[in-house]
Structure 1
Amino acid sequence: MNRTEAREWVVKMLYQYDVSKLPLEKIFENFYEEHDPGEQKEYIEGTVRGTVEHLEEIDREIEKYSKDWPLYRMPRIDLAILRCSMYEMLYGNIPVSISINEAVEIAKKYSTDDSPSFINGLLGAFVREKGLEEGEANDN
């Protein structure tokens, strides 16, 4: 499994967590029954756990940049994509440009026709206001 596939699974797990409220351990268990994450296991679990741990903060950031589009009105998959990307940019060691590009590609694959541009615009505004460098990884 490569990092792009792992990121898709992170988004799927965050989506499942959001809609089912299953414990993370059960979500991981279900995933591992059918998939071998290989060397991506640490990234997957770390990103899912970290996102959930910082969910309130991340959701506040999403609401701040979503301009009159409250979280409850967003497609749940878009919310999972945004949460994953924002977590990576705030706490991960992933270059900002990669995180945004991957978020847009996941949206193209799994969400509505309008979602890629919405996600790109929201994440772009977030990056600009936070002063994050487009090509650099966060040092947190």
Structure 2
Amino acid sequence: MKRTQLREHSFRLVFEAEFYPLQEWKEQVEIYLEHTEEASEEEKEYIRSRVFAVIEQKEEIDAGINLRANRWKTSRMNKTDLAILRLAIYEIRWDEEIPEGVAIDEAVELAKRYSSNEAPAFVNGILAGFAKAE
């Protein structure tokens, strides 16, 4: 499975975290991965560890978003955009294997695919500001 596909599965699970209590969400992750038949066990573990790491860093990630999002707070953001931003910021800040530019480009592509027409510019603007600050 390509890294883009792994990222897309990770995004979907980070998005789902908004709608479940933590323990129930962890169960949902396992159910989701159980039905992701195209992924090997190694790829499922990659997705699992990535989404758990994003959620573990959620408060710090959200604080960074709130600092850089002009007139927007995470509590008011579209949940799709927020999940995309959380995953991308995790990749920029903590994943040394993924270059910042790739994390930003992939996040913009997710926004094009899953969110509104305005989302790619919004996501790009916040992530560009975040990358400059790093």
> Structure 1: which 5+ residue stretches go unaligned?
131-140
What residue number does 2:55 align with? 52
SS in 2 for 1:113: coil
2:11 counterpart letter in structure 1 = V
Structure 1 residue ranges, 4+ long, deviating more than 6 angstroms after superposition: none
What aligned pairs does 1:28-67 form with structure 2 within 5 A after superposition?
28-36=29-37, 37-38=39-40, 39-67=42-70
What residue number does 2:131 align with? 127
Tell me, yes or no, if structure 1 residue 112 matches structure 2 residue 116.
yes
Note the C-alpha offset of 1:22: 4.7
Note the C-alpha offset of 1:32: 2.2
Within the candidate set 84, 87, 94, 1:81 is matched to 84
What residue number does 1:6 align with? 6
1:7 counterpart letter in structure 2 = R
Q: Report the TM-score when normalising by structure 1.
A: 0.87
Note the C-alpha offset of 1:21: 2.6
Contact 2:33 2:44 in 1 (8 A): no
Contact 1:16 1:22 in 2 (8 A): no
Once superposed, what is the RMSD of the aligned Cα atoms? 1.3
1:10 counterpart letter in structure 2 = S
